[in-house]
Amino acid sequence: MSEKIMHVGDADFDSAVLQSSEPVLVDFWAEWCGPCKMIAPALDELAETYAGKARIAKVNVDHNRATAMKYHVRSIPMLLLFKDGQIQDTQIGAVGKAQLSQMIDKAL
């Protein structure tokens, strides 16, 4: 796993994501979720590719229920792209790196 990926939770979501000066792609995931594991390598690569321009964050929905509920996470993986504290784009389900890259590019 890339050390460039932030792990955020209920306590630090606002400061790490909403107040970030860079766009943040947030992956809502869980340990038991197969599709979440499938997209993890793509997220690692994106964290490297976009270092300094955008950030990748992961929120474990089992440990951070308040944040998951706030953003109406009903199925995972669910990816939300935040820019300036606002949701810019949403993707539900496992998708390829190219699609995630397009989401980030639109926010840059």
Print the domain residue range for 18: 5-107
- Structural domain count, the chain: 1
Question: Is 52 labeled as catalytic in the residue annotation?
Answer: no
Which of 5, 24, 26, 36 is an active site residue?
36
What's 42's domain CATH number?
A: 3.40.30.10
Which of 33, 40, 54, 56 is an active site residue?
33
Question: What is the distance between the alpha carbons of residues 49 and 35, in angstroms, rounded to a whole number?
Answer: 22
Question: Is 36 labeled as catalytic in the residue annotation?
Answer: yes
Helix (H, G, I), strand (E, B) or coil at 77: coil
Starting at the edge strand found earlier in the chain, the sheet holding 24-29 runs 5-7, 55-60, 24-29, 78-83, 86-92
pLDDT at 8 (0 to 100): 97
pLDDT at 80 (0 to 100): 98
Question: What is the distance between the alpha carbons of residues 5 and 90, in angstroms, rounded to a whole number?
Answer: 19
Residue pLDDT tens, the chain, 108 long: 568 999 999 999 999 999 999 999 999 999 999 999 999 999 999 999 999 999 999 999 999 999 999 999 999 999 999 999 999 999 999 999 999 999 999 999
